[in-house]
Each structure stands twice: as structure tokens, then as C-alpha cells.
């Protein structure tokens, strides 16, 4: 079983749609959780951290369910510019700096 699993997609949605991505992780000792965004042929960039209480940044909402070892990302009112691959990222220890990346979920927003 992969340490971090995501549905690779692609998810094809029209502009303005709401879309949700899920991610599961296998290690119950995981401590920190993030969503990164990677545009085609570019480097990954941090989109947002995921906190236990859930957090929101504009049109983006991240949720964490430790009991189910599950993370989600919700994007409201999708824009063309949201088209990218969204990477779920987990860390086990706060001291090693070792981030474990999921395969990513590809989103294509169509006009």
C-alpha cells in the first residue's frame, strides 16, 4: 500500500464548479499535512497547510480526519487558472524534514 494515495484523475470540470479531492495516508503517526500545487512542467509550490480543525484560504478549504487518515481539498468557483496537479503531502516526524508526496490529482477546468 502506498504511503499517500490519491486518485490521479484527471478531473474535468466547468468554470465555476465546486470540486473536491481526497487523499488517504497509511501511517497513523503522521504529524503534518499539506497540499501542494504543481503546474505542468513546473516545480511544486505550497498551496496550504492542513490543520486538525480544518482551514480555509479564499476559495480553498482543507480538512483533516485523523481517525480515518484522510485529507481533503475543496475548491469552490473553479477558475481556468486552477488547472494543475494537486499533491497531497504528509510528514511523519517534525525533525527530519521528510515529506511524503502523493502521486497528485490532476484538475482541468474548462471554459
Partner 1 sequence: DTAVSQTPKYLVTQMGNDKSIKCEQNLGHDTMYWYKQDSKKFLKIMFSYNNKELIINETVPNRFSPKSPDKAHLNLHINSLELGDSAVYFCASSLPGQRNEKLFFGSGTQLSVL
- Give the one residue of 12, 18, 27, 31 binding partner 1; rule: CB under 8 A: 31
**Cβ 76 to partner 1 shortest distance, Å:** 24
Give φ, ψ of 11 to 5 degrees: -100, 120
Residue listed under C-alpha cell 490532476: 106
Cα→Cα distances 81→12, 32, 46, Å: 13, 27, 16
Kindly state whether residue 104 participates in binding partner 1, applying the rule CB under 8 A.
Answer: yes
* Interface positions with partner 1 (CB under 8 A): 8, 31-32, 36, 41-46, 49, 85, 87, 91, 94-101, 103-104
Amino acid at each position: 500500500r502506498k504511503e499517500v494515495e490519491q486518485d490521479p484523475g484527471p478531473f474535468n470540470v466547468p468554470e465555476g464548479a465546486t470540486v473536491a479531492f481526497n487523499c488517504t495516508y497509511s501511517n497513523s503517526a503522521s504529524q503534518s499535512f499539506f497540499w501542494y500545487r504543481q503546474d505542468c512542467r513546473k516545480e511544486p509550490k505550497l498551496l496550504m497547510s492542513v490543520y486538525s480543525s480544518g482551514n480555509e484560504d479564499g476559495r480553498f478549504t482543507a480538512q483533516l480526519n485523523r481517525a480515518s487518515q484522510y485529507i481533503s481539498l475543496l475548491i469552490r468557483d473553479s477558475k481556468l487558472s486552477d488547472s494543475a496537479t494537486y499533491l497531497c503531502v504528509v510528514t511523519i516526524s517534525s525533525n527530519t524534514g521528510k515529506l511524503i508526496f502523493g502521486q497528485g490529482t490532476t484538475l482541468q477546468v474548462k471554459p
